[in-house]
Structure 1
Amino acid sequence: MTTTPSLPRVCLVAITKHGAAQVAALARQLPQASICVAAKFAETMQGLPNPLLAYDGAFKDRIAPLFEDFDQIVFFVSLGAVVRLIAPHLRSKDEDPGVLVVDDAGQFVIPVLSGHVGGANAMADTVAALLGATPVLTTASDVGKTIPVDILGRELGWTVEAPKLNITRVSAAVVNEQPVAVVQEAGSARWWTRPTPLPPSIHRFERLVDVDLERYAAVLWITHAEVPPALWERLHERLVVYRPPADAVRSTEVVQ
């Protein structure tokens, strides 16, 4: 049975009076998000249903708890200040929350940390739509509108099976528009959610045996099958395997 994914824990953060006003405006549209502002600005949040975290003292002392307690942190603080504040707390893209910055005029939303795995790119799209702002994405696969190798199928419950080096190498092949084979033997075909077609460098197959492995710079294999050690060795750093949920039915719907 498929489970509904839990909502991300979001915190909207400001350290100035103007930033607090921006947070209040966004919080009205994100009632599930928490708010973190200096205690002297807490009054401006009255009437909002959002959980309020009012702090006294140095804001830098709030960063560690924010990193621990939230999946997405949206700062209405300058980009340079945010970089300096979060730098001592960075661990890895598998552990760090998504961090975003909104400029003082509310015109741009910038994912700073954990764009893919942490979901900051998707959150930037959401926040930008609510603010009427522009998301500033710098992740190559998003800018190039191609396959995000590290999170492909995540919203469908797929898990990734590959060494991190493979994910890095295969991601490079994808964004550099080298020929890449996507072999889907299991799971829903509705993994391509962008409004544009798949790039011409991506070639789709229904069975691994139909792929001339030497012709492709990388192989993305969506399957329930066991991967023979000899195949990992043969493809070396060119293979990434995706595992749909065991009860997922193979869809025949074609990805455009």
Structure 2
Amino acid sequence: MKVAVVSITRHGIALAGRVVAALPGAQLFAPDKFARQAEAAAPGAAHCYAGKVGDQVPALFAAFNGIVAIVSLGAVVRLIAPHLRGKELDPAVVVVDEAGRFAIPVLSGHLGGANALAGHLATALGATPVLTTASDARQTLAVDLLGRELGWTFEATHAELVRASAAVVNDEPVALVQEAGSSDWWTQHANGRSVPLPANVHCFKRLEDVDPERFAAVLWISARELPAEYASRLAGKRIIYRPGRSA
């Protein structure tokens, strides 16, 4: 992840140096009036700007896929709001308070990796990650991250992702069918889970063993094409995961 670290205060810049050190390749952005402090905090990785921090947001959104802002949460919301395009396109944004006590994912928690970035920063800074996405708060399955650490890809519309996610977190019956790929996806999933697989997720070895009408969502891990007779029965409530050759 290519990360920009943004700070607008003298004390925040000192913390920003620790953040840059914890994220290889990260770059620090600070007001030019704090140029000396910024270079001292992040030697060779400091960039200073004139004018308002809000004027830097478009360029940061275009050049980086992760932004760590040592700025108040409310201010960050106002700064980024005019530039949001969609969860598949927006960068991960994490807010860290100036005391380094909390790491708060604000934008693109799952697909963009903000939750994972917050977790990494929490470890590096001794902070508390504040994860508000339902799947992370409840330590349950995040359908848009399943197998991501193993290199899996998925096929689903936005509406299907929303429906499957809601089914998981609302304890509706979900069928998980694994016909291919590594079987250790749960312990490797979404930065690691230490709890058992949720009781509402029912596991199968073949798609043909599933009665789609019994389930609010079907998660199918397979290398084969979707059988024609299942296409209409699974319409709107299936996610297809494609493991790589060695995953």
Match of 1:150 in 2: 144
Aligned residue type for 2:23: L
Q: How big is the shift at 1:155?
A: 1.8
Q: How big is the shift at 1:46?
A: 2.5
Which aligned segments of 4 or more residues in structure 1 are displaced greater than 3 angstroms?
Answer: 47-50
The reply to whether residue 106 of structure 1 matches residue 72 of structure 2 is: no
TM-score (norm 2): 0.92
Structure 1 CA distance for aligned equivalents of residues 163 and 89 of structure 2: 21
Aligned residue type for 2:79: L
Aligned residue type for 1:162: A
Match of 2:190 in 1: none
Deviations, residues 44-87 of structure 1 (Å, cap 9, x unaligned)? 23374552221111211100111011111000000111011101
1:187-226 to 2 correspondences below 5 Å: 187-193=181-187, 194-226=193-225
Q: Is the 1:9–1:71 contact (alpha carbons within 8 Å) kept by the matching residues of 2?
A: yes
The reply to whether residue 136 of structure 1 matches residue 135 of structure 2 is: no
1:50-199 to 2 correspondences below 5 Å: 51-193=45-187, 194-199=193-198
Indicate the RMSD between aligned Cα atoms, in angstroms. 1.5
Structure 1 residues 50 and 227 mapped into 2: Cα distance closer, same or farther (>3 Å)?
farther
Q: Is the 2:22–2:121 contact (alpha carbons within 8 Å) kept by the matching residues of 1?
A: no
Match of 2:31 in 1: 38
Give the one of 225, 232, 248 matched to 2:246: 248
Structure 2 CA distance for aligned equivalents of residues 186 and 50 of structure 1: 46
Structure 2 CA distance for aligned equivalents of residues 48 and 105 of structure 1: 18
Structure 1 residues 50 and 165 mapped into 2: Cα distance closer, same or farther (>3 Å)?
farther
Match of 2:22 in 1: 29
Aligned residue type for 2:234: L
Match of 1:5 in 2: none
Match of 1:237 in 2: 236
Q: Mark the runs of 5 or more structure 2 residues left unpaired by the alignment.
A: 188-192
Deviates more, 1:126-135 or 1:152-161: 152-161
Structure 1 CA distance for aligned equivalents of residues 229 and 12 of structure 2: 56
Deviations, residues 4-58 of structure 1 (Å, cap 9, x unaligned)? xxxx001111011111111123223334211111122221233745522211112
Q: Is the 1:117–1:150 contact (alpha carbons within 8 Å) kept by the matching residues of 2?
A: yes
Aligned residue type for 2:149: E
* Percent of pairs with identical residues: 54
Q: How big is the shift at 1:200?
A: 1.1
Q: Secondary structure at the match of 1:75?
A: strand
Structure 1 residues 37 and 164 mapped into 2: Cα distance closer, same or farther (>3 Å)?
same
Deviations, residues 176-235 of structure 1 (Å, cap 9, x unaligned)? 111111101011112113121111111111111222322222110000111134423112
Structure 2 CA distance for aligned equivalents of residues 148 and 164 of structure 1: 14
Deviates more, 1:49-58 or 1:88-97: 49-58
Instruction: Give the length in aligned residue pairs.
Output: 241
